[in-house]
Amino acid sequence: MMYSERLHPWVVIRLLPKMQRIVVARFRNRSDAEGHLWALKRLMPDGQFVIVFDVGNLEV
């Protein structure tokens, strides 16, 4: 996981058919991710989106 991805752990993902997904955007806090998700749902009402917290790979 790149440094910039660790700084933005909240991810908005668009769910696609056949178990595919696209990372739409990354955010530093959940509130920003929820605001973006709200806008996406208004612009694309048929799209399926989720917010996840990406912890990345734990490297020891």
- Does residue 60 register a pLDDT over 60? no
Closest Cα to residue 29, out of 50, 57, 10, 46? 10
Mean pLDDT of the region 4-10: 85
Q: What is the model's pLDDT at position 52? A: 97
d(CA 45, CA 10): 21
Model confidence pLDDT, tens digit, residues 21-42: 999 999 999 999 999 999 999 9
Give the predicted TM-score (pTM) of the model: 0.84
